[in-house]
Chains A and B, each alone.
Chain A
């Protein structure tokens, strides 16, 4: 039976070829049909634990539980400067559908206030999911009982009613839109921070009126505030007794929508895939329940409706102008001048002691500059994603140990497991248990 092994080999070879061909074919078709083949990064340009982050994580949870997408969506918080640090990163990301972002109306306001040079037009919109409706509130014992009474007063005595808001945020724009709609009314805008700070200021009488989301309003209602209007198309089911602005003659719809964006140039079919998944997630029982608890309207916009809505909001915002306040001096220049003066005084008074301190370096060894240089090199390696975090960190920690401790066998023996634990342990902890975006 000499031929059997060759036969077997031939059969095996044939099978292997078939398998390879099959793999090739299936991978080609995979590339065509099955986006995504790896995890999708969802950038949330606000910090973990905040409103946007919570909303996004609820959606992501529903997608995972219902198996709506064959790959996970990983939430990454890139917070700071009203969402612009994150939006800038997504704008410059590769348009392959694997980096997307959820950012509400701040994308319009950032451009309008001059924080960024780009707005919605720099992105490919995916969908809008959920709308946070805003209510305008005053103190319970305020003389105003309707939106028109309030706005009439603001028109007769302009710049007197103090409107508390986070300057430059969508809640600020809402007031400006109201002024614009009326024509002659004028509020005095003041920085009053987040919703939690505004409610304290409103209750204490430090501001006269302030907008809140419906969820916040429900939470704070019994602390002594009343709502004059809700700025939505229809009355909000959670507060049916509060009339809309439209009912009171102001054609305004200033709810905050959660928009999902992809970098410009992302293939339309990938955008459609994600949009469909989002729509399905929004329809799940889980999301409905959570949204109801947060009083967020579960509306979904896609395609043409979405484009129209974005154009409408963009146009509405460019109609208003944000007047720069002249009530606040430029503190930064005061501090700069003061710092320069004080520093000069310190240097003049202590020049001898200072120069003595500078040169009294007790040890002139190369260890420190070497360590600092190594650290910068390591940080740059990770920043440029030249190496994975685990490997780079292991090497870095090991080299640092050897530089500081000296090149001797016991130190090397103890450093290797230590460095490996740091590198691989932290990588596992931060990417698998927590969701931090470290280079692989």
Chain B
């Protein structure tokens, strides 16, 4: 408790405040640009922090992390191009709502939900860090597999037809398989082409399918009519009644997001997928999901923001990185002489409390920045089409190239752009494909790891209670809608 005064003292001095503002703003911008992600920003700016003081460097990077997760919702909502992978789900409802003439409302819901998600998970971070991190240990590979399976079940739900949803999702899983197996390390489906040994990376695949195919459609449209957009802040802030209506959804999604954030090796995208599925399950009007549902936007955005503070929990309390960005933060800590681990809280308590405090301040800054810049962002869709398309193309190309300094990833992105265009034309959903692509390897790795540990026995899938519950949940998620369809609609 006696840390509060020095922490406040530190956070209220101009330099850290400037760093938080800089980090949050650059995070939002990078997050909003399809092709560039927060992880990339943080990894590439790590060398720039070498000359900084350790706590300052981490405060800057944590702020980037918070900003980048939030920025993705802007392009997801307005252009149907998720700026970051964690905003895939936001496109499902944000874009239809913006198309229906309510872009400010859609952005506002996303921004407010992001803020609430950030704050709720931050409360967990500040109060319950150690016990939460300890619970994560009890989950084994089979439990992780079942959890991923539950999240995967959504592929059956986001499309109008269960069959096309599953087919598209399984194709996505298939597309994740070329390259090195996450279980055995064997190389498969590469046909001897060594550039493919690393498979198709997430970023080129995702921006190819979503951003590029959308750009292609924009180009091929004869006369793009700039849609009417609300510029003003009207409808931007959620009213008290909104908060009351969304309270349960907000809390549930934020708790799910925080929890998924704590688990190592599982990312922000799963957080928003799982929260979205849950929101749809509990919703009184599930048919609105996918057509501009407010609940959908709120669930996705509060959950993905909640994963940030969630991921900081094992990092700060145990020194265990729970996400890709966390792993980079560990590197930064070591460089700057902050020994990460359970002892960090004792050896450098001020650093820990400053980072936790910065996470809160960054969320507030994010909220303010997003509200200030969003009215002008709603005009994003009315930027002349030729500038928008060529700008996005250039960003997508340099972003893919920067992943590993090679052109192969750029060609992968172009190929998936053409595939995405074809899938849109054929009416096959992109969302199940991408969800399959993201979750497939995680499911495979955990199932394979479990099988190696049991020497081939599948039994723990149903003998471990956590796993059993999750599997039953996954099955019911897929079976329930088709049962429901047979029943006469109740009025």
Task: Output the nearest chain B residue to A217 by Cβ-Cβ distance.
Answer: B341
Within 8 A of B (CB), among A187-202: 188-194, 196-197, 199-201
User: How far is B427's CA from A190's CA once the two chains are assembled, in angstroms?
Assistant: 41
B166 interface contact, C-beta 8 A: yes
Contact in complex: B398, A332 (CB < 8 Å): no
Contact in complex: A405, B44 (CB < 8 Å): no
Count of interface residues, chain B, beta-carbon cutoff 8 Å: 104
Q: Determine how close the nearest CB of chain B comes to the CB of A317; give it in whole angstroms.
A: 15
Q: Determine how close the nearest CB of chain B comes to the CB of A87; give it in whole angstroms.
A: 10
Mind listing 5 A-B residue pairs with CB under 8 Å? A57-B46, A220-B320, A220-B342, A375-B414, A400-B386
A9 interface contact, C-beta 8 A: no
User: How far is B326's CA from A194's CA once the two chains are assembled, in angstroms?
Assistant: 13
Q: Determine how close the nearest CB of chain A comes to the CB of B57; give it in whole angstroms.
A: 12
A88 interface contact, C-beta 8 A: yes
Would you list the 9 A-B pairs with minimal beta carbon distance, nearest first? A405-B386, A80-B198, A49-B328, A219-B341, A168-B185, A81-B197, A383-B407, A48-B43, A342-B167
A349 interface contact, C-beta 8 A: yes
Interface string of B441-473 (1 = CB under 8 A from A): 000110111011111100000000000000000
User: How far is B414's CA from A289's CA once the two chains are assembled, in angstroms?
Assistant: 45
Contact in complex: B448, A191 (CB < 8 Å): yes
Q: Which residues of A contact B (CB under 8 A)?
A: 47-51, 53-54, 57-58, 61, 75-82, 84-85, 88-89, 113-116, 159, 162, 167-168, 188-194, 196-197, 199-201, 203-204, 206-207, 215, 218-223, 289-290, 293-294, 324-329, 331-332, 335-336, 338-339, 342-343, 345-346, 349-350, 353-354, 357-358, 360-363, 365, 367-368, 371-372, 375-376, 378-379, 382-383, 393, 396-398, 400-402, 404-406, 411, 414-415, 418-419, 422-423, 426, 430, 433-438
Q: Which among A328, A338, A378, A398 has the highest number of chain B CB atoms within 10 Å?
A: A328
Within 8 A of A (CB), among B403-443: 403-407, 410-411, 414, 418, 425-428, 440
A372 CB contacts on chain B under 8 angstroms: 216, 414, 418
Q: Which among A48, A84, A159 has the highest number of chain B CB atoms within 10 Å?
A: A48
Contact in complex: A415, B386 (CB < 8 Å): yes
A201 CB contacts on chain B under 8 angstroms: 140-141
Task: Output the nearest chain A residue to B166 by Cβ-Cβ distance.
Answer: A342
Task: Output the nearest chain A residue to B335 by Cβ-Cβ distance.
Answer: A54
Known: A190-B449, A196-B264, A422-B391. A80 touches B197 (CB 8 A): yes
Known: A206-B141, A346-B164. A404 touches B221 (CB 8 A): no
Task: Output the nearest chain A residue to B263 by Cβ-Cβ distance.
Answer: A200
User: How far is B428's CA from A75's CA once the two chains are assembled, in angstroms?
Assistant: 42
CB contact between B265 and one of A193, A331, A350 (< 8 Å): that residue? A193
A327 CB contacts on chain B under 8 angstroms: 451-452, 454-456
B216 CB contacts on chain A under 8 angstroms: 368, 371-372
Contact in complex: A358, B425 (CB < 8 Å): yes
Q: Which among A76, A82, A162, A372 has the highest number of chain B CB atoms within 10 Å?
A: A372
Known: A58-B335, A189-B452, A426-B394. A342 touches B163 (CB 8 A): yes
| Number of A-B pairs, beta carbon distance below 8 Å | 301
Q: Determine how close the nearest CB of chain A comes to the CB of B205; give it in whole angstroms.
A: 14
User: How far is B455's CA from A433's CA once the two chains are assembled, in angstroms?
Assistant: 50
B335 CB contacts on chain A under 8 angstroms: 54, 58, 290, 293
User: How far is B448's CA from A151's CA once the two chains are assembled, in angstroms?
Assistant: 25
Q: Determine how close the nearest CB of chain A comes to the CB of B442; give it in whole angstroms.
A: 11
B393 CB contacts on chain A under 8 angstroms: 375, 397, 400
Contact in complex: B453, A207 (CB < 8 Å): yes
Contact in complex: A167, B184 (CB < 8 Å): yes
Task: Tell me if B's interface is mostly helix, strand, loop or mixed.
Answer: helix
Q: Determine how close the nearest CB of chain B comes to the CB of A345; give it in whole angstroms.
A: 6
Q: Determine how close the nearest CB of chain A comes to the CB of B190; give it in whole angstroms.
A: 9
Contact in complex: A50, B327 (CB < 8 Å): yes
User: How far is B187's CA from A76's CA once the two chains are assembled, in angstroms?
Assistant: 25
B372 CB contacts on chain A under 8 angstroms: none
Contact in complex: B163, A405 (CB < 8 Å): no
Task: Output the nearest chain B residue to A290 by Cβ-Cβ distance.
Answer: B335
A353 CB contacts on chain B under 8 angstroms: 427
B397 CB contacts on chain A under 8 angstroms: 375, 378-379
Q: Determine how close the nearest CB of chain B comes to the CB of A353; give it in whole angstroms.
A: 7
Given contacts A48-B46, A80-B201, A361-B220, 16 further A-B contacts (CB under 8 A): A79-B404, A196-B326, A206-B141, A328-B183, A328-B456, A331-B177, A339-B173, A342-B166, A346-B164, A357-B425, A358-B425, A361-B425, A400-B393, A426-B398, A430-B398, A436-B402
Q: Determine how close the nearest CB of chain A comes to the CB of B451; give it in whole angstroms.
A: 5
Task: Output the nearest chain A residue to B340 by Cβ-Cβ distance.
Answer: A219
Contact in complex: A159, B455 (CB < 8 Å): yes
Interface pick from B14-22, B131-139, B246-254, B373-381: B131-139
Contact in complex: B339, A219 (CB < 8 Å): yes
Q: Determine how close the nearest CB of chain B comes to the CB of A364; give it in whole angstroms.
A: 9
Within 8 A of A (CB), among B303-337: 318-322, 326-328, 330-332, 334-335, 337
